[in-house]
Amino acid sequence: MTVYAKLKALLPEENYIYFGDTKHMPYGEKTKEELLEYADKIFDFFIQKRAKAVVMACNTTSSVIYDTLKDKYNLKIYPVIQSVCGIIAQLPIKKAGVFATHATVNSNAYKREIQKHTPNIEVIQISCPEWVKIVEENRINRPQSTIQVKEKLDEMFEFNPEKIILGCTHYPYLMNILTKFAPKDMFIDPSIYFAEFIKNDLKENNLTEKSAGSEEIYVSSNPEAFKNAAGIFYKIKNTPLLKTFD
């Protein structure tokens, strides 16, 4: 939803089909085999809906299964990590930190993709599995959440990074806590770069739309709970439609 909100703001004339896999979240602790099983069903759904492109907004799926999926479907696919790392690699820095899920950190995707463009940038990756729960459970303002966030920041600060990438779409919503201990411009929200990248790429490939801009929102379970939780990221006007996968 964080990426979707930025895309909607940048490209209001596009027609969007959003799918949130609420039945299987969080993805950060899933195996590659499980993620591929979920992705195949979701991609088939998008094909049925005649999508022209698929945005893989999840850092975990981009890092773990994009390479397996990229040649499997006749669709334009935008993976968040691979799309933004070329931009990040152009920043005038020598050391970057990454906060992400276990799966993203274990995949080494951010380090690999950044160093593919600029080999001399040192990349430090630290997993923060509890951060997703803090956001999902709306515990951002609780003292214990501040303690948990600071613990990971202190661990990262030992490496003296010049920039810190928030490598999960939930993490930018912890900015009020993060900026208590470091300046805001130290943190990189990849979704900002990602939305710009997609906008420019659609234009270069003559795939942009000039329509009123439609929106369909689907989830795999608990649509009302999703609507309430998603309000942190994006105000859904209508009740999400329900698409359940067995």
Do 87 and 187 sit in the same domain of this protein? yes
Q: What is the pLDDT of residue 227?
A: 81
- At residue 239 the predicted structure's pLDDT band, cuts being 50, 70 and 90, is low
- Per the structure, the complete domain to which residue 141 belongs is given by 83-192
The one catalytic residue in 58, 65, 98, 100 is 58
Give residue-wise pLDDT tens across range 38-50: 999 999 999 999 9
Do 187 and 123 sit in the same domain of this protein? yes
Joined together, the tokens standing for residue 23 give 């039945």
Do 153 and 95 sit in the same domain of this protein? yes
Do 21 and 115 sit in the same domain of this protein? no
Give residue-wise pLDDT tens across range 177-227: 999 999 999 999 999 999 999 999 999 999 888 888 889 999 998 888 888
Average the pLDDT over each of 119-123, 135-139, 163-167, 230-234 and give the range with the smallest value.
230-234
Do 61 and 96 sit in the same domain of this protein? no
**φ, ψ dihedrals at 54, nearest 5°:** -125, 130
Do 148 and 188 sit in the same domain of this protein? yes
Count of structural domains within the chain:
2
**φ, ψ dihedrals at 27, nearest 5°:** -75, -20
Q: What is the pLDDT of residue 186?
A: 97
Do 109 and 162 sit in the same domain of this protein? yes
Query: Alpha-carbon distance 96 to 238, whole Å?
Result: 40
- Please count the CA atoms within 13 angstroms of the CA of 239 that sit on its side-chain side: 8
CATH number at residue 149: 3.40.50.1860
Do 34 and 101 sit in the same domain of this protein? no
The one catalytic residue in 105, 114, 124, 168 is 168
Do 104 and 178 sit in the same domain of this protein? yes
- Please count the CA atoms within 13 angstroms of the CA of 109 that sit on its side-chain side: 29
Do 100 and 117 sit in the same domain of this protein? yes
Query: Alpha-carbon distance 171 to 151, whole Å?
Result: 15
Do 28 and 87 sit in the same domain of this protein? no
Do 87 and 181 sit in the same domain of this protein? yes
The yes-or-no answer on residue 85 being catalytic is no
